Amino acid sequence: MKIRTLIVDDEPLARERMRSLLLKEPDVKIVAECRDGQEAISAIRRESPDLVFLDVQIPEPDGFAVLEEVGADKAPVVVFVTAYDQYALQAFEVHAVDYLLKPFDEERFQKALVRARSAVLTRDGEGVDERLISLLRDLKAPPGYLERLVVKAAGRLFFLRAEEIDWIESAGNYVSLHAGGESHLLRETMTALEGRLNPGRFVRIHRTAIVNLDRIKELQPLFHGEYQVVLRDGTELTLSRGYRERLQEIIGREF
């Protein structure tokens, strides 16, 4: 029996990595590769794969929305591929849904594949579906939070997904959105924008700065209860004492 497998990831190198690992498996057949949610929905319906390696953060609809559209009760066995924060990872573990945290090595990939292979071979229509349904229910973002922003520059409109933002800086009646080494000005106040962002992902660390929690690499103590926040791209920001309690609540520990 060949395990009909679908790869869904918007990053070409990530798809290539999974493809190269799966091609080593004689019992696996790759039936399609997808770059975004719409392609994934079509491929799942067309190919009826046994197994899907599904990147959570693909262009819309995202991985969770793909499963909602297909129907978790009709979905194949799923291994999530993600760069998500620790809270989503904890949710995957609570619901016994397997995942690969980027970047992953071959050993971790093999462990996920072994579990997925077992799930495919022993699947009886119960258990896996209910776990997916429960996961989607628990992870579904609260309504009303911004999923994307549209910014204008040089006469052009740029579409920016909220999750792509590294951090946000106050600039008077504007905010500067820092994402992937680029900055975009948006006419909106920090307070107004803060209220529209998902508080599970974005936290205000200073009167002039909001940061994406996924981008924080480390905290370094300064003086008088303040901390230096070091992002994964090397950016250094200040966590002021007045905003420290909120960050402590989110990460679940004092410092």
Question: What is the residue extent of each domain of the chain?
Answer: 3-138, 148-251
Name the phi and psi angles at 143, rounded to 5: -65, 150
Nearest residue to 241 via CA among 223, 254, 220: 223
Q: What CATH superfamily is the domain 148-251? A: LytTr DNA-binding domain (2.40.50.1020)
Tokens 């599970």 belong to which residue?
Answer: 200
Give the CA distances from residue 121 to residues 7, 114, 115, in Å, rounded to whole numbers and listed in that order.
Answer: 19, 11, 10
- Pick from 78, 136, 87: which is nearest to 112 by CA? 78
Contact status, residue 151 vs residue 177, Cβ threshold 8 Å: yes
Tokens of 182: 């680029």
**196 pLDDT more than 60:** yes
Tokens of 133: 């349904």
Find out whether 70 and 44 touch, Cβ atoms under 8 Å. Answer: yes
Q: What are phi and psi of 38, to 5 degrees?
A: -65, -45
Gap between the Cα atoms of 12 and 16, Å rounded:
6
pLDDT tier for residue 87 given thresholds of 50, 70 and 90: very low
Q: Convert the pLDDT of each residue in 162-176 to its tens digit.
A: 999 999 999 877 899
Q: In what order do the strands lie in the sheet with 216-221?
A: 216-221, 227-231, 236-239
Q: Tell me: the pLDDT tens digits for 30-47?
A: 999 999 999 999 999 999
> What are the residues whose beta carbons fall under 8 Å from the beta carbon of 171, sequence distance 6 or more?
185
Mean pLDDT of 147-168: 84
Q: What is the model's pLDDT at position 128?
A: 52
> Within 10 A of 221 (CB to CB), how many other CB atoms are there?
10
At residue 55, the 3 state secondary structure works out as strand
The reply to whether 3-138 and 148-251 are identical in fold is no
CATH fold of the domain at 3-138? Rossmann fold (3.40.50)
Query: What average pLDDT does the segment 189-205 reach?
Result: 88
Strands 209-212 and 167-171, bridge-based pairing:
antiparallel
CA-to-CA distance for 40 and 24, rounded, in angstroms?
23
Tell whether the model's pLDDT for residue 188 goes beyond 90. Answer: no
211 pLDDT tier (thresholds 50, 70, 90): very high
Torsion of the alpha carbons at 158, 163, 165 and 171, rounded to the nearest 10: 80
List, as one string, the DSSP characters of 153-176.
ETTEEEEEEGGG--EEEEETTEEE
